[in-house]
Amino acid sequence: MLTRVHHVGIAVVDLDESIELYRAALGAELVHRARNEKDGIEAAFLRTGDGEVELMSATTPDSPVGKFLAKRGPGLHHVAYGVSDIGGALAHARAAGLDLIDSEPRMGMHGSLIAFVHPKSMGGVLTELVQT
């Protein structure tokens, strides 16, 4: 059911600066950049070999990422796992008693169906499932 570690989400203050850091320091390639005003987020996806890193910045301080940055500072935000059947994976997670943030899959910023699982169910790590 799990296909791979799909990406790691990192909250950053300055998206352009962070993209350049990952390009220059690791040779990561920018593959997608998107802004969602409703959720107050701008994100960039960089390929790091088989997986990706998702750099996330806030477009407003009162957005979820803005609040995360104010409370915790920049750093690891979530880990995303690829799944071959997100509906089945969510049903399995629900049956296992996990606290789901998204009870149904929704469209993510990278154009794939996603769903988040609450960090309290996952050892303190916000966990994202991505349809692959």
Binding site for Co ion (CB under 5 A): 9, 54, 80, 128
Residue number with CB closer to Co ion (9 or 40):
9
Instruction: Give the residue nearest to Co ion (CB).
Output: 9
Rounded to a whole number of angstroms, the minimum distance from the CB of residue 80 to Co ion is 5
- What order do you get walking across the sheet with 106-107 strand by strand? 29-36, 41-48, 51-58, 2-11, 75-83, 127-131, 113-117, 106-107
Closest CA to 122 of 80, 87, 70: 80
Beta-carbon count within 10 A of 95 CB:
8
Dist CA 27 CA 39 (whole Å): 29
Rounded to a whole number of angstroms, the minimum distance from the CB of residue 46 to Co ion is 12
Residue number with CB closer to Co ion (70 or 114):
114
Residue number with CB closer to Co ion (79 or 98):
79
Rounded to a whole number of angstroms, the minimum distance from the CB of residue 45 to Co ion is 9
Rounded to a whole number of angstroms, the minimum distance from the CB of residue 59 to Co ion is 16
Closest CA to 36 of 97, 131, 108, 102: 108
Residue number with CB closer to Co ion (92 or 110):
110
Dist CA 127 CA 56 (whole Å): 15
